[in-house]
Amino acid sequence: MTFASSYYAMRKLRVTGPPVAPHTPPMPRTPRTPPAPPAPRVADRRQRVQSAETGMAVLKALATLGGSASLTALAAAIGESTAKVHRYLASLAQQGLVAQHPSTQHYHLGAEAVRIGLAALRQCDPIRLGEGALVRLRGQLEATCFIAVMGNKGPTVLRIEEPTLPVTVNMRAGSVLPVLWSATGRAFLAWSEDAQVRRQAQEEYAAATPEQRAHLAGPDAIARLCRQVQGDGCAIVHDTLLRGISAVAAPILDAHGRVAAVLTALGASSGFDTRPGGRICPQVVREAADISAAMGWTAPAAGAAPAAAQAVPSPAPARARRRA
């Protein structure tokens, strides 16, 4: 190839460029399928939670039915089929939470349930459980609040909370109060079945001054006082123990309905509302009821009364007049 022909060939290539392949349209992209949501995992977790709730319902029903019941009774109590309840009972039995009596075939709480119950009972300390209530009442009422238990000499203060400007009262942890002339003692008296408590009240009444007896005038004064306290839901004193001091006390009941301690609020009579439906009484009663619930107490159905309340004769005469 001559120089001239090579030159013109290269020039033609530069002008026209290399041969271009025919245009091919791009292939359509297949849309990516999004990953499936983790619904099965969520559903499985929800099912496990529901299974735990059903198992707890079986145990609660067994406890409500007295700790022993037939399969039919348990199924009826929680509104489930006997087949479903039986499956849960089998699982609970494997964990030692329930057991079956070999002769009656009734189910009852097992050894592990007993251990759990004993651990819960060890926590049922009214002083510890009532610390929050004392702080709340002190702040809300601006009053001195305390929890007392029944000691061998009478109601004994164990935990006390005082407001910023406390009432001048010679009362500290360890102070012993009378049964008949203090709101704390009257709450113990009204809800206690202890014969010693009633005997101490009678001794205090026999040794009382005419002025003290005037607060409880009339026949069968102590029994009438107990009915009055139970009717109000709390014990109220106004210038009875100390001149110028009023107090409201409500019982703290244990799982059997026995009075374990008493929650009391006291303050200067001039600004202390002692009406049963006033500002102070409902708060004290409510806090005491919450502590009782934490202790395992379940309030009886309407119209029923705990055993301690039934110890007092039922007819309720006119209420004794509270004197200032």
Residue 224 domain flag: yes
Tell me, yes or no, whether 106 and 162 share the same domain. Answer: no
**Are 185 and 178 spatial neighbours (Cβ–Cβ below 8 Å)?**
yes
Tell me, yes or no, whether 179 and 247 share the same domain. Answer: yes
Tell me, yes or no, whether 118 and 135 share the same domain. Answer: no
Tell me, yes or no, whether 207 and 147 share the same domain. Answer: yes
Tell me, yes or no, whether 112 and 132 share the same domain. Answer: no
Residue 171 domain flag: yes
> Which positions ≥6 away from 166 have C-beta within 8 Å?
144
Q: Per this entry, what is the length of the chain?
A: 324
Tell me, yes or no, whether 203 and 274 share the same domain. Answer: yes
Per-residue pLDDT tens, the chain, 324 aa: give them: 565 566 556 665 555 555 555 556 666 666 666 666 655 565 566 666 678 888 889 898 888 888 889 999 999 999 999 999 999 999 999 999 999 998 889 999 988 888 888 887 777 789 999 999 999 999 999 889 999 999 988 999 999 998 877 666 677 888 999 999 999 999 999 999 899 999 999 999 888 888 888 877 777 888 999 999 999 999 999 888 788 889 999 999 998 899 999 999 998 888 888 888 888 999 999 999 999 999 988 877 654 444 444 433 333 333 333 433
Tell me, yes or no, whether 167 and 108 share the same domain. Answer: no
* CATH number of the structural domain spanning residue 57: 1.10.10.10
Residue 281 domain flag: yes
Residue 17 domain flag: no
Which of 75, 97, 122 delimits the end of a domain? 122
* CATH number of the structural domain spanning residue 176: 3.30.450.40
Range of the domain at 299: 126-310
Tell me, yes or no, whether 158 and 274 share the same domain. Answer: yes
Question: What's the pTM?
Answer: 0.66
Residue 240 domain flag: yes
What is the SS3 string spanning 170-196?
CCCCCCECCCCCCHHHHHHHHHCCCHH
In a 3-state reduction of DSSP, which class is residue 152? coil
